[in-house]
Amino acid sequence: MDKNYYKVNDGMLWEAPDDENDVIWRFKGNPLFDFNKEKRFWHICNSAVAIVGGKYIGVFRCETPDGRPYLYIGKSADGVKWDIDDKAIKFVWKDTGEEFEFDHCYDPRLIKVEDKYFMVFCGHEDSPSIYIATTEDFEKFILYPRCFLPCNRNGVLFPEKFDGKYYMLNRPFSGNGSKDGEIWLSESADLEFWGHHRKVINKFDNGKNYWERIKIGPGPAPIKTDEGWLLIYHGVQSTCNGLCYSMGACLLDLKDPSKVLYKAKRYLISPSEPYECVGFTPNVMFPCAALVDSKGHITVYYGAADVNMGICFTTVDKLLKFVKEYD
Amino acid sequence: MDKNYYKVNDGMLWEAPDDENDVIWRFKGNPLFDFNKEKRFWHICNSAVAIVGGKYIGVFRCETPDGRPYLYIGKSADGVKWDIDDKAIKFVWKDTGEEFEFDHCYDPRLIKVEDKYFMVFCGHEDSPSIYIATTEDFEKFILYPRCFLPCNRNGVLFPEKFDGKYYMLNRPFSGNGSKDGEIWLSESADLEFWGHHRKVINKFDNGKNYWERIKIGPGPAPIKTDEGWLLIYHGVQSTCNGLCYSMGACLLDLKDPSKVLYKAKRYLISPSEPYECVGFTPNVMFPCAALVDSKGHITVYYGAADVNMGICFTTVDKLLKFVKEYD
Amino acid sequence: MDKNYYKVNDGMLWEAPDDENDVIWRFKGNPLFDFNKEKRFWHICNSAVAIVGGKYIGVFRCETPDGRPYLYIGKSADGVKWDIDDKAIKFVWKDTGEEFEFDHCYDPRLIKVEDKYFMVFCGHEDSPSIYIATTEDFEKFILYPRCFLPCNRNGVLFPEKFDGKYYMLNRPFSGNGSKDGEIWLSESADLEFWGHHRKVINKFDNGKNYWERIKIGPGPAPIKTDEGWLLIYHGVQSTCNGLCYSMGACLLDLKDPSKVLYKAKRYLISPSEPYECVGFTPNVMFPCAALVDSKGHITVYYGAADVNMGICFTTVDKLLKFVKEYD
Amino acid sequence: MDKNYYKVNDGMLWEAPDDENDVIWRFKGNPLFDFNKEKRFWHICNSAVAIVGGKYIGVFRCETPDGRPYLYIGKSADGVKWDIDDKAIKFVWKDTGEEFEFDHCYDPRLIKVEDKYFMVFCGHEDSPSIYIATTEDFEKFILYPRCFLPCNRNGVLFPEKFDGKYYMLNRPFSGNGSKDGEIWLSESADLEFWGHHRKVINKFDNGKNYWERIKIGPGPAPIKTDEGWLLIYHGVQSTCNGLCYSMGACLLDLKDPSKVLYKAKRYLISPSEPYECVGFTPNVMFPCAALVDSKGHITVYYGAADVNMGICFTTVDKLLKFVKEYD
Amino acid sequence: MDKNYYKVNDGMLWEAPDDENDVIWRFKGNPLFDFNKEKRFWHICNSAVAIVGGKYIGVFRCETPDGRPYLYIGKSADGVKWDIDDKAIKFVWKDTGEEFEFDHCYDPRLIKVEDKYFMVFCGHEDSPSIYIATTEDFEKFILYPRCFLPCNRNGVLFPEKFDGKYYMLNRPFSGNGSKDGEIWLSESADLEFWGHHRKVINKFDNGKNYWERIKIGPGPAPIKTDEGWLLIYHGVQSTCNGLCYSMGACLLDLKDPSKVLYKAKRYLISPSEPYECVGFTPNVMFPCAALVDSKGHITVYYGAADVNMGICFTTVDKLLKFVKEYD
Amino acid sequence: MDKNYYKVNDGMLWEAPDDENDVIWRFKGNPLFDFNKEKRFWHICNSAVAIVGGKYIGVFRCETPDGRPYLYIGKSADGVKWDIDDKAIKFVWKDTGEEFEFDHCYDPRLIKVEDKYFMVFCGHEDSPSIYIATTEDFEKFILYPRCFLPCNRNGVLFPEKFDGKYYMLNRPFSGNGSKDGEIWLSESADLEFWGHHRKVINKFDNGKNYWERIKIGPGPAPIKTDEGWLLIYHGVQSTCNGLCYSMGACLLDLKDPSKVLYKAKRYLISPSEPYECVGFTPNVMFPCAALVDSKGHITVYYGAADVNMGICFTTVDKLLKFVKEYD
């Protein structure tokens, strides 16, 4: 089957919805990878994508057949068909210039802050922590010291600084029985020393939003709009047979992103397609990247069932309306 | 696809089996809901259905996109295509006449006792308990005080009184490690004060019926036959990847329904179709309603994978033979 | 050692405090039992005591050396030295007159309601439930059907009826992870059929009273005062090495005991003596009985470390002042 | 659909791969059983197969509709279409000649040692243990006393003796938190008294092979090659929604099979087809039998999702290359 | 304090009871060790003692201040004051003669079988298993291969062979949720290859003996009497604050020790002294050795609270009467 | 009893040992508090002490009778008899000057860095985190923003800066099943922004030091010596009845304190006195403060059983010898 039903809009993959009232809708070419052909990897999921110099580039969470998740560079002309490197990313410590290899690492986000690309991801030396790496050529990744003490598995920078400081949304993991899995904001002038941590987004809103009852965590880099920062995040519910990861959305204040202006009580989209409901971890949609074009079209890349990648589409206007209407 | 392969029998939806030897068989139009069109709800499952004045009426467990389960009235001409209300049921306290809204509620059963319709369901004020509501018009539901102390999630009334008392089958939840999840019988003269609780149906029969090893709970209202009360119930087995809910059947004594006359050692039907095996909670068939016509045809409505609704068919004769043959 | 340092006041054992400012203080003859002499039982704890016809009578939770807890009658001239029967209590079902023996039973309370003595306790047929028995001679105990569905381990009647109904405080056990272990109120006209259940006393007061963070349950029968019903209850905190049971107090409305007038944020007394901190279950004070004389002296009997019995003293005035001062 | 696309090779079912570079590939006729027709059983999975006298014979783990797993003889002309007996296997104790019925039993392996067929399987008298039975006619199974103290769920004999001793690979279950789920080797001269137990294959290789992080266990009987014993085994990874069972391979020393010559770090094949990812226990491939013909073709029978059976193919040469290349 | 209140009887330490009716009574010199003086060890507990050539010799479970349990030889003139070696026992493999050191080892029993001393204990190479060592001089211990697959923590040989076979009582550990912690009997002709395992003593007797509800395990070597083998064992109950280890007794058939002739429903003795109720693991009496003199006096050594050692006394006649009376 | 058996040395409480060979020994006046007199608090434990201007000052973890832990100033002439304030410490945010009250807070350490006093402690806004406060008068405490994301319960600053940076030892809590509970080092130039986190002290040393198998955490501020920084820390072992907290010691490099020069494999001192083994949390010694005089005498204050405070003594020379001898 030739996947030519999509079109590229302003250089960005985008498809209009079948139903104009839809808030968010899936790409008809989902899922992206065919493992019958792509036998090098067990799973490809939860990956970051950017358009750099008019070309698609991605950092993919690939699990080699030994089951180890690591990060690989992929390139694409259209955002759908990807050439993924045979070798994993190489990291070089910022302070010493020495190469470094994690035990394993995963769940990257790519953010351009002031013309520089940063990748935020979860790396394991021994415990899971958030790391930042920067790159100019998507070949060499300069690695900053781990941002936080363990444990923290999800982090994403804002695309702009605030008062000269980098801001990072993140999800500290504080153990079962604690107020685990909510979204915090941390600041740093230099990406090395972090502080002024405060929780900014609560899950569950004190007992109503069951779809995000267990935990929430930041997804793609927040999208700047006139009305605030649009944040797409993952929210998790439990059943007697495991967890279900959906996507949600909220709007943070432009100047003080620790203020939540609107937060939709309902999920934005939830697993229902076979490639989302069946797989290594059933019932997972895990967004890691969102591209936006000049017309406000949004293309979201998400991991599906911890096995594959999917794409869904929305627009800035639709999301703004959504977070207000269901706040 | 036009779902016109079924026929309505005596005003009740029913399909004959492809194989005459089948004890129970699925409706070819399963599952009932298409969420691509019905976007108002996340899931519709575990719901009660009745034919009132020749028309189908149902009380549906719908989860709105915030993930909250609540009860909604639905109407149907054929029992397959349903118009579900936009707004949830309103409850009015029987004693004060004040309106009341649960934190959330679910898993209703509808029972007609002496020309009056009762709904039994699980409601959460803070902990899960069984509540009864009665209605004349399926618009206003008069709510009785909670029947039992927490926790109890499944209850169903008998369609007749015994010695002037209402009888309710129910499944107290008594915590992990206890003899959790078996079927009890409780009595009340007024639906408000309950007592004479005793366990009437044991799970697992001391180590043989693995399909119901974890817990069992009452399903639709018992069906009166010449030989006794036919009870369809859910039975649960565990695997290393979660729980599996199947249906079972037994026959209770006509005059003293605390006596089990026959109980089939084997399940009646177990999840095998994609819409039962894949979804929010994989591997779930959860029966909440059973309609019977004058010829003894039975139409069972059941929740599928905590996402959708299915229908299966059987007959009184087949069930009676089944519970005796496999006792 | 001759335990003659106490005195009997108005027929009731009572000792004045060493320090007049004390709210509650221990009996100098604690603990009550010497197992080097009393070898018939493994433990004697959590027992009920009353003065009937000027003489002390008690129902003791005794664990025979097979480890099985059951109830035994004890008699005493002074409330300190007890003669405990060799044989356990015999129960007779109220409806059939047949004898009945529980698998095991424990934690009794004795309450006189309108000149009739009732014992409320936890009995196991298969799961733990609350039972009521009544007696005229403390030899034959007439047993009512189990009050509630499982699980419930602590219940106590009010000494008076309200609008012709018996009121029972109780602690439903609703499983780990639920809002477990708070005090509910239930009503019955006949002690057989119960309803109108509502939670009346919350633990922890939303995050401040750490000593009662895990669960709370009713202790002795509420004490009637001009200002309301004084309730002594147990409250439980957890440490990394287990649980700690202390005593607390609150005041319920005279006419509507579902209203809490005052509830002391602090514990009344907490384990600190060796016989409370060391034993089968370390760090336990579990009050089951409170005697009151005409002067408002109060003598509380409590289980110590699930091994032995202790006594402590207070007065109505001191408790009233306590619940108001620390509300 | 007529399943005639396979061919029988040298009397053994075998299909060439579509892609010559494939190491292992699935049978196009998977899965083997159609439960719409085969209604006698709930599940058929994890079963042993042999070619005896040119005909296919199998011992199947069948779960009857009461959910009880037991062993049944099946016969087949082609290894694909099977006639399974109505009645389960009968066991006869070797020492007394008395018949014996397990509470339940499952997961058989068939091994021919010195012209005698042995079945090794997991049986429950009360706890799960490994048992051996021998048969001449596949009708009467002579049962040896349980080999090990509980718990042990997977065992397989080598097809040859070593220094006059039988060798058994097995997987002791030693409880959560221990070094659970690794492959041990035990010896016996008489199949009754076992000793010289030692662990021979470690899971996870100290933190790299995530696909086998949780536990590993022996699969089919080791295949003798010039270079050593080829062992196909199962390896298990966990996700937040349960476990995933894949297959792995290693090569043991011909003379001293406690020496691992090569062990592939990566899995050999992992669940990806619907019948492996959806079912009673999603994401399970559990190999129990491997047939080899004179040309080194290998036909592996495996349980799929604890529901059905699948077949996959490989060759001795491919496996030898695989374990060396990825060691 | 001079501990001279005891007397040595027939070369064996023994004290008569204060009360002739006592079945078992504690040594007045308990506990044995004074850690203010004996600073080399953190704890000394659960140890084996024998009288060899008229002199006391013991194998002590000592935990050095790094917390590691290992075995040390101790010598004593009176069974009370012990000289414990500075260095731990050295093991030499029986087959190779090579020295071996366990990761750690503990809970020894000493048994003389046909004029040869054997020590049975729990050793960890990686998982806990039962090992046997034999010694002639209590200096060099010849180590047999591990007897069973993991996990097993308690084993003791019978002092005699049966039909030429060694018999070992042991307690396989089969994981939480299984029928864990009961006493099995295994046989071996050569102490290397073991089989014919069967469970011989059930805990809890189907729901009555709460003191041994959680698990039971064999204690000292069975004592031969005219009427059968007297076995002292440990039985464990749980509370909400942990476990309580008591001692129990039963009588096994002289010729077929898999037959239980009598088993007392009640415990023999249970922790009540401060050194048993307070310490590293509160509420533990763990018997590992029992000496018997010609008059049938019995001296039991037991570990107290996982910290220290205690002694208690009984007689063969008293134990025989006890197991019959309370069966 | 008049506690006058101690003497003040150089202004610091210190007692010589009874046995010159002792490495560390307890104060004869232990425990410090008498709750029969000091009725304001439930427990006083895990507290910090300093000598400021020749006078003792302490910050005490006191639990008021509602069970809430908070910090209180205490003053003392001799370090033994303490006057503790009626009111808890008031915090003032450094940036806004606003007063702040924690939900609860505990386990303080006091450190003088360059003539300024800092308190490091665990505070809960919602999750447990490390906070720093500074004070000039021990009345007003200036509060810095929380140092780390949750969860972290133990932190202590070095008394000196390194290259202009503050160094903090701390124990991130990373959830069950992770490499939880080891000692990390973090850096900050301004006490607000922290980074360069690295683990510096491993527990258990790969399987030998069982006394610290579960977790380790920093105790009092490191003591500067010519040979390095002496660190006293807590180490935790588990039993089937809970946890046991002992003290350990190690020596860190003077210039680069991330280097461990020596670490004693054995504990320094472990609970054995009644006030350490019995109480709210049995078997706990938790060191929070260590005073050193000019002669190298060391006075350690530690929490006992989460109830009371104890003191023990050692010297710099003894500790240096200890960490080398048992490394």
CB atoms within 10 A of CB A4: 9
Phi, psi for E316 (deg, rounded to 5): -60, -45
Q: Which residue of B has its CA nearest to D274?
A: B274
Q: Which residue of B has its CA nearest to C181?
A: B150
pLDDT for F126 equals 82
- pLDDT tens readout for residues E119-136: 999 999 888 999 999 999
Q: How large a percentage of chain A has pLDDT more than 90?
A: 89
Contact D145 E186 (CB under 8 A): no
- pLDDT tens readout for residues F220-259: 999 999 999 999 999 999 999 999 999 999 999 999 999 9
Q: Is A touching E (3+ C-beta pairs, cut-off 8 A)?
A: no
pLDDT for A163 equals 96
From the list B127, B186, B195, the residue facing C174 with the nearest CB is B127
DSSP state of E260: E
pLDDT for A36 equals 86
Give which of A204, A216, A239 to mutate to test B binding, by max B Cβ within 10 Å: A239
| C-alpha to C-alpha distance for E30 and E273, rounded to whole angstroms | 10
Provide the β-strand partners of residue C188: C166
Chain E residues 198-257 with a CB less than 8 Å from chain C:
207-213, 237, 239-242, 244
pLDDT for B76 equals 96
DSSP state of D276: H
| C-alpha to C-alpha distance for D199 and D202, rounded to whole angstroms | 7
Q: Which residue of E has its CA nearest to C282?
A: E241
Average pLDDT across chain F, whole number = 94
From the list A147, A175, A179, the residue facing F176 with the nearest CB is A175
pLDDT for B205 equals 81
Contact A170 F184 (CB under 8 A): no
**Structure token digits, residue E248:** 């129990």
Contact C172 B127 (CB under 8 A): yes
- pLDDT tens readout for residues A294-311: 999 999 999 999 999 999
Residues in chain A within 8 Å Cβ distance of B176: none
End-to-end CA distance of chain C: 41
pLDDT for C126 equals 82
Residues 6+ apart with CB under 8 A from F44: F32, F33, F38, F60, F61, F62, F63, F84, F307, F308, F309
Provide the β-strand partners of residue C111: C118
Report ipTM (2 d.p.). 0.94
Tell me which fold the domain F3-12+41-325 belongs to.
Answer: Tachylectin-2; Chain A (2.115.10)
Average pLDDT across chain A, whole number = 94
pLDDT for C2 equals 40
CB atoms within 10 A of CB B315: 19
Contact F42 C211 (CB under 8 A): yes
pLDDT for A176 equals 44
**Structure token digits, residue A114:** 């002031």
Dihedral sign computed on CA atoms, order D118, D119, D124, D130 = positive
A43-70 mean pLDDT: 96
Please say if the pLDDT value at position B249 is more than 90: yes
Phi, psi for F78 (deg, rounded to 5): -125, 0
Please say if the pLDDT value at position F176 is more than 60: no
Residues in chain F within 8 Å Cβ distance of E42: 211, 267, 270
**Structure token digits, residue B194:** 């309950």
E126-149 mean pLDDT: 95
Low-confidence ranges of chain C (pLDDT < 50): 1-5, 176-177
Please say if the pLDDT value at position B206 is more than 90: no
CB atoms within 10 A of CB B179: 17
Lowest mean pLDDT among A184-188, A207-211, E308-312: A207-211
Contact F197 A152 (CB under 8 A): no
D229-254 mean pLDDT: 97
From the list E210, E241, E274, the residue facing C67 with the nearest CB is E210
- pLDDT tens readout for residues D91-137: 999 999 999 999 999 999 999 999 999 999 999 988 899 999 999 99
* B315 contact C CB<8A: no
* F47 contact E CB<8A: no
Dihedral sign computed on CA atoms, order F31, F37, F39, F41 = negative
* A283 contact B CB<8A: yes
Contact E208 C68 (CB under 8 A): yes
| C-alpha to C-alpha distance for E3 and E13, rounded to whole angstroms | 13
* F87 contact E CB<8A: no
* D192 contact E CB<8A: yes
| C-alpha to C-alpha distance for B292 and C40, rounded to whole angstroms | 62
Find how far residue B108's CA is from the centre of its chain.
Answer: 7
Which amino acid type is present at position A287? P
Element containing residue D274 per DSSP (H, E): helix D274-277
Q: Is D touching C (3+ C-beta pairs, cut-off 8 A)?
A: no
Max mean pLDDT among B53-57, D253-257, E293-297 falls in D253-257
| C-alpha to C-alpha distance for F187 and F168, rounded to whole angstroms | 6
CB atoms within 10 A of CB A202: 16
- C-beta separation of E280 from E31 below 8 A: no
